[in-house]
Structure formats: C-alpha cells, structure tokens
Amino acid sequence: MLLFSWLVFSVLVSWWAGKRGRLWVDYLILSLIISPLLGGFILLVKPDLAKEAAANAAKKAEEARREQERQEDHDRQLASIKALAKTGPSAGVSVADELVKLAKLRDDGVLTPEEFAAQKAAVLAGAATV
C-alpha cells in the first residue's frame, strides 16, 4: 500500500510539474527516488514557468501593439507633411517657416533625415516655382 501511494503521489507531482512548465519526467524520477513530498516542495519553491511565459507573451503583444500604433501615427504625420509639401507653402506661411517646422519634426524624431531632406527639397522646389 505504501509503495502504491508513493507511486501515485510521484505521478501527481510530475503532472503538476508539467502544468507549471517543468519537465514532468525529471520530477517523476526525483519523486520516485527521493520522495514525492520533497519533489512537490521543490516544485512549489521554483517559479511557475508557464505563468512567466504567458506574462512575457502578453508583454510582447502589448509592445507590438504600441509599436504598430506609433508607426501608424508616424505614417499619418508623414502623409500630412507630404500633403502640405505638395500644395506648397500657403500665402501666409513663408518657406523659412516651413523649413523650421520640418526641422522641428526631424529633431523630435517624427521624420528621418532622409524624409527631412525629401520634404525640404519639395518645399524649396515649391518656393522656386512660385
């Protein structure tokens, strides 16, 4: 009877280890050789890898969502700047003001240096045709 209980509790500890993201075979062997009680205690002390993996996956999904929102916001701002550049500076706005705005957007990280150069060229080309 004692041997049967030992085996049952060892199997339960190994099942619990599998639920916690651990290798169930390792805990089955540990529980069979040493003690199911000691195997369960060791398992209880060690962190739950399954919960940690789920938390990390949720964190990565949230970071990906934020990055996608940031990229979409950047694309909207860039489209707005391109639309302004195509229409050229309005009658009340000087070319210098447009260049200052573009430089601020570049300094704030909204525009990359390449995008800034392209927009600057478009503003200057629009000013030359006026």
Instruction: Determine which helix (DSSP H) or strand (DSSP E) holds 21, and give its type and residue range.
Output: none
* pLDDT over 70 at 76, yes or no: yes
pLDDT of residue 130: 46
Looking at this protein, which amino acid is placed at residue 3? L
pLDDT tier at 63, thresholds 50, 70, 90:
very high
- Record the pTM: 0.48
pLDDT of residue 38: 86
* Residue 39 · residue 10 · CB < 8 Å: yes
* Residue 83 · residue 119 · CB < 8 Å: no
CB neighbours of 100 closer than 8 A, spacing ≥ 6? none
Residue 108: strand, helix, or coil: coil
Residue 35: strand, helix, or coil: coil
